[in-house]
Amino acid sequence: MYEGGGILTTAECNVLLLAGATLGGGSAINWGASFKTPSHVLEEWAVVEGLPLFNKGSQYEAAMEAVLSRLSVQPDPGEENLQNRLMWKGCKKLGYHIVHASRNSIADHACGWCGFGCWNGKKQATSETWLVDATTNGATILSSVSVNAVLYRNSAQGKKHQAVGIVANMENHDGEGLLFVESQATVVSCGSLNTPVLLQRSGLRNPHIGKHLYLHPVQVMWGYFPSDGVSSEVTYEGGIITAVSQEVANWQRGGHGCILQCPSFHPGVLSVIVPWLSGKDFKKRMSRFSRTAHIFALARDHGTGSVSIGKHGRVISYPFLDPIDHQNLVDGGEAALRILIAAGASEVGTYNRNGDSLSITEENTSAQVEEFLQKVRSRGLGKLETPICSAHQMGSCRMGKDPATSAVDPNGETWEVSGLFVADASVFPSAIGINPMITTQSIAYCIAHAVIKALS
Active-site residue list: 392
CA distance 49 to 32: 29
Which long-range CB contacts under 8 A does 2-9 form with residues at least 24 apart? 2/29, 3/191, 3/193, 8/316, 9/316
Distances (CA, A) of 258 to 70, 146, 242, 334: 29, 36, 17, 11
> Is the CA virtual torsion 58, 59, 60, 61 positive or negative?
positive
Q: Which ranges in 49-129 belong to alpha helices (H)? A: 59-70, 82-94
The separation between CA 202 and the C-alpha centre of its own chain, rounded to angstroms, equals 27
Nearest to 397 by CA among 388, 389, 405, 406: 406
Q: How far apart are CA 456 and CA 452, in angstroms?
A: 6
Three-class DSSP category at 142: coil
C-alpha distance from residue 352 to each of 234, 272, 384 (Å):
24, 12, 9
Q: Of all helices (H) and strands (E), which one includes residue 292?
A: strand 292-299
